[in-house]
Amino acid sequence: MSTTMSVPAFSHPPSGWHTINWYLVHRQVRGLQVRIAKATKQQQWRRVKALQRMLVRSFAAKALAVKRVTENRGKATPGVDGELWSTPDSKWNAISRLRRQGYKPKPLRRVYIPKANGKRRPLGIPIMLDRAMQALYLLGLEPVSETTADRNSYGFRPMRSTADAIEQCFVNISRKSSAKWILEGDIKGCFDNISHDWLLANIPLDKQVLRKWLKAGFMESGSLHATEAGTPQGGIISPVLANMALDGLETVLESHFGQKNTKASYKTKVNYVRYADDFIITGISKELLADKVRPIVEAFMAERGLALSKEKTLITHASEGFDFLGQNLRSYNGKLLIKPSRKNMRNVLGKLKQIIAGNKTVTAGNLIMMLNPVLLGWANYHRHVVAKETFNYVDYRVWKMLWKWCRRRHNNRHKRWVKDKYFKSAGNRNWVFSGVNGKGNTARLIYTMDTAIKRHIKIKAEANPYLPEFEEYFEQRLERAWKNSLNGRDKLLTLWLRQRKRCEMCNDLITKETGWNIHHIVERVNGGSDKLSNLVLLHPNCHRQLHHNH
C-alpha cells in the first residue's frame, strides 16, 4: 500500500472548468502550504515570501480560489459591478483574471445585517474578482497565521471550534486551586478600527495588494466613502487579518506573569482564552486583573488602533457567573457548571416562535421541516455542556407554541380530536408532533432532550493542520468524531468490510480486541481528503510504525 507520494503535475493541462483535476489541484496547493508552514516555524521569512509568491502565481491556487468563491454561501450575492460567476465558462475565464499586475479592487457594497442586540452590523460585499483574489492570497497567508497564532485562540481557525474554547475555559477555572476572578474582554468595533499602518507593517502578505484592499472604500447610497482603518466585515481574508492583529497577547501576558505551569504563573494564575474578538483572562484577584492585567491588554490593543469597551469589559467572580460564546459559566459552591446562557436560549425560542407564527397555514409536515434544523443545530451546539434541564424547558415551550398553533387552526374542534390529529405516539412518548412532509413521508418533531450530553475533547493547543508531525493526531480526532456519530459508525463499518476485516499493513484481522486507527493513504498535509477512497483501517501499532517510518 502506497502511503506517501510526491506532489504530481498535470499530465494534460485542463482546457475548461470541467476538465480540471481537483485532486491534483488540492495536492499541489497543500504541498506549498506545508512548505510555507515549515518555513514560518523556522522563521525563514524570505523563504516564506518566495513560497507565497510561487503559490499565488500557480494555476492550482487560482483555480481553488475561484472554486471557493463560486461555491460558498455568498456566490449569488453580487458586488457593486453586479457580476456573478455562475457558468463554467465564466469560472474558467476568471482564473486567468487573477493577476497582481494591473489589479485594482473595486469599492465594497455596504449592506447592514441585524445584530442580536437590535443594532445593525455593517457588512462590505466585494465584487467576485476581489473575493477570488482574497481567497488566493489567503491560501498563502493561512499557513503562516496557523503557525504564529496564540495557542489558546480558537475563532476562525481550521479544525477549531467554540467547544474547544469553552473546554479551555473549564480547564482554567474548574479546579479548586484555579483562579476565580475573570476579566471579560470586549473590543470596541474590532473589525472597523484595526490600524492599517499596523497591518501593513506586520502582516506577511504582498504589501501592495494588501494596501489596495484596505484602502478600497465602500459604496453606500450611491456615494463613495474612504476607509482609513479596519478590515471589511464580509471579506474572505478579514477574519485571518483580525486574528493575526490580536495574536501575541498570550505571549505578552506570559512575559509578565509567567508561562503556564511555571512557578511565576502559580502566583498569579493568569490564563487567556480567545475566540475571534471575544476573550477572557483569569487571575487570582480583582486587583490583579484591574491594576496589572487590564493596562497591559489596553496597551497591546492601542498599538493596533483598538480599544476595550468600558461598558462591556467586566471583572467578574466565578460564583457570579458570566456568559461566553452562548454558554453561562458559573461556580456553584465551588463546582463549575457550564450551561446554555439565558440570552442564547431566549434567542432560539424567539426564532422558533417566529417560524411558527409566520407559517400559520402550512401543513404540519412542512412546519416540522422548518423547525427541526433549528432545534437540531441548537441542541448539537450545547451537547457538550450541562444542558439537559435547558433542553427539557425548550421542548416544553415548543410544545406550548405548537399546541396554540393547532388550536388556532381547529378552534371549533375538541382538544382530544386536535391531539389525535397532530400528536402521535413514538417509542415511549405519546405527544410527538407529527405530520406528512412534501414527499409523502411521515415527519416527526425533534426533541432536544434526546440529544446525548458528551464531554468535548479539546484540541491540543499547539496542533497545526499544516505541519506533518500532527498528521497522526488529526487522524485520531477524525476517528473519535466518527465513533461518536451514527453516520461515522456506518463509514467505519464500510471500511472494515471493504478491507475484508483485515489490516492493510499486516493482513491480520481487525477486531474490538486489537483496536484500529484510521489512516489517510494520501496524507492530509499532502492534500489528501477525508473521503472513504482515501482512508484505510490499520492496527494501532501498524499505524504508529507507518508514521514513524515516514
**pLDDT: is 386 or 521 the higher one?**
386
The average pLDDT across 418-438 equals 88
pLDDT at 1: 47
Q: Is the pLDDT of residue 36 over 60?
A: yes
pLDDT at 437: 80
pLDDT at 117: 64
Average pLDDT, the chain: 89
Categorize the per-residue pLDDT at 224 as very low, low, confident or very high, splitting at 50, 70 and 90: confident
- Cβ contacts of 295 within 8 Å, gap of 6 or more: none
Write down the H helix ranges in 151-293: 162-173, 190-193, 196-202, 207-214, 238-246, 249-257, 263-268, 286-287
Our measurement of the distance from residue 304's CA atom to the centroid of its chain's CA atoms, rounded to an integer in Å, reads: 24
Q: Please write the tens of the pLDDT for every residue from 67-120.
A: 999 988 888 888 888 899 999 999 999 999 999 999 999 998 888 887 766 677
The average pLDDT across 152-180 equals 94
Nearest to 296, CA basis, from 260, 267, 324, 270: 270
Q: Is the pLDDT of residue 7 over 60?
A: no
Percent of the chain with pLDDT over 90: 63
pLDDT at 470: 93
Write down the H helix ranges in 70-161: 88-97, 128-148
Percent of the chain with pLDDT over 70: 96
> If 0-12 CB within 10 Å is exposed, 13-18 middle and 19+ buried, where does residue 260 land?
middle
pLDDT at 448: 95
The average pLDDT across 398-404 equals 96
How far apart CA 46 and CA 64 sit, in angstroms, is 25
Nearest to 324, CA basis, from 271, 384, 279, 385: 279
Residue 278: φ, ψ to 5°: -100, 135
Categorize the per-residue pLDDT at 328 as very low, low, confident or very high, splitting at 50, 70 and 90: very high
The average pLDDT across 27-52 equals 96
Paired with 536 in beta bridges are 519
How far apart CA 14 and CA 20 sit, in angstroms, is 5
How far apart CA 276 and CA 150 sit, in angstroms, is 11
Write down the H helix ranges in 410-502: 415-422, 471-483, 486-498
Q: Could you give the dihedral angle defined by the CA atoms of residues 400, 402, 408 and 410, in that order, rounded to the nearest 10 degrees?
A: -120
pLDDT at 113: 80
pLDDT at 4: 43
Categorize the per-residue pLDDT at 180 as very low, low, confident or very high, splitting at 50, 70 and 90: very high
pLDDT at 320: 95
CB neighbour burial string for 132-143, b if at least 16 within 10 angstroms, e if fewer: bbbbbbbbbbbb
Q: Could you give the dihedral angle defined by the CA atoms of residues 295, 296, 300 and 306, in that order, rounded to the nearest 10 degrees?
A: -30
Categorize the per-residue pLDDT at 399 as very low, low, confident or very high, splitting at 50, 70 and 90: very high
The average pLDDT across 135-152 equals 96
Q: Is the pLDDT of residue 349 over 80?
A: yes
pLDDT at 493: 80
**Three-state DSSP class for residue 144:** helix
The average pLDDT across 388-404 equals 96
Least confident of 194-203, 217-226, 448-457: 217-226
CB half-sphere exposure, 269, CA atoms < 13 A? 19
pLDDT at 97: 94
Q: Is the pLDDT of residue 2 over 50?
A: no
Angle between helix axes 364-381 and 342-357 (nearest 10 degrees) is: 170
How far apart CA 473 and CA 465 sit, in angstroms, is 9
How far apart CA 538 and CA 506 sit, in angstroms, is 8
pLDDT at 3: 42
Q: Is the pLDDT of residue 154 over 70?
A: yes
Q: Is the pLDDT of residue 464 over 50?
A: yes
- Cβ contacts of 435 within 8 Å, gap of 6 or more: 363, 364, 365, 366, 367, 368, 422, 442, 443
The average pLDDT across 202-230 equals 88
Q: Is the pLDDT of residue 264 over 80?
A: no
- The CA-atom distances, in angstroms, between 141 and each of 144, 182, 321, 355 are 5, 33, 38, 41
Q: Is the pLDDT of residue 339 over 90?
A: yes
Q: Which of 136-150, 432-446, 502-516 has the highest mean pLDDT?
A: 136-150
Q: Please write the tens of the pLDDT for every residue from 266-293.
A: 778 999 999 999 999 999 999 999 999 9
Is residue 444 within 8 A of residue 456, CB to CB? The reply is: no
Least confident of 56-60, 88-92, 268-272, 506-510: 506-510
How far apart CA 258 and CA 461 sit, in angstroms, is 17
Is residue 178 within 8 A of residue 269, CB to CB? The reply is: yes
